Amino acid sequence: MEHKDCIFCKIINGELPSAKVFEDEHVYAFLDISQVTKGHTLVIPKTHTKNIYETPEDVAKELFAKVPLIANAIKKTYQPLGMNLVNNNEPIADQTVFHLHLHLIPRYGDEDGFK
Ligand code: 5GP
Ligand code: ZN
């Protein structure tokens, strides 16, 4: 269900542009507008859910089921040495967009700028 005024819901429905990495019935993945490292990608459920606390099991299953596929696509394209998966929940933990999202952050070595 789309959530009014949610920028990620607007990205899913095409109201806002994005650089799509992957899409299926349940999941959308796109490049983060602020690339922490090259290929930094956000993976989101098409069902609006605020964060991990409010995410039903079926939505979590559909989201995480596609992460290996998306991670391997990024690995193939950008050839990082490794990758961090990050999920921020609530403002104190740096959540700024309140539609559940997983950061896939490719790592290239100490100089890639991600700590
Ligand atoms: P958070 O801090 O909530 O974990 O991450 C939100 C992320 O969404 C940030 O890394 C930010 O750069 C990204 N972001 C915010 N607005 C947009 C947008 O309009 N398009 C894209 N592609 N990323 C966005
Ligand atoms: Zn949303």
Task: Answer yes or no: is the C-beta of 18 below 6 A from any ligand 1 atom.
Answer: yes
> What are the CA-CA distances from residue 23 to residues 19, 91, 114 (Å)?
11, 27, 26
Backbone angles phi, psi at 9, to 5 degrees: -65, -40
Tell which one of 33, 40, 100 to mutate to probe ligand 1, the residue whose CB is within 8 A of the most ligand atoms: 33
Q: CA-to-CA distance for 45 and 57, rounded, in angstroms? A: 12
The top-level CATH class assigned to 7-112 is alpha beta
Q: Where along the chain do its domains lie? A: 7-112
User: What's the complex ipTM?
Assistant: 0.99
The per-residue DSSP string of 66-79 comes to: THHHHHHHHHHHH-
Q: How far is the CA of 1 from the centre of ligand 2 (A)?
A: 8
> What are the CA-CA distances from residue 99 to residues 16, 63, 74, 76 (Å)?
15, 13, 22, 27
Q: Tens digit of pLDDT for each residue in 19-68? A: 999 999 999 999 999 999 999 999 999 999 999 999 999 999 999 999 99
pLDDT of residue 31: 98
Ligand 1 atom nearest residue 86's Cα: 4
Q: CA-to-CA distance for 109 and 112, rounded, in angstroms? A: 6
Ligand 1 atom nearest residue 19's Cα: 22
Single pTM value for the model: 0.97
pLDDT of residue 1: 59
Question: Percentage of residues in the chain with pLDDT exceeding 70?
Answer: 98
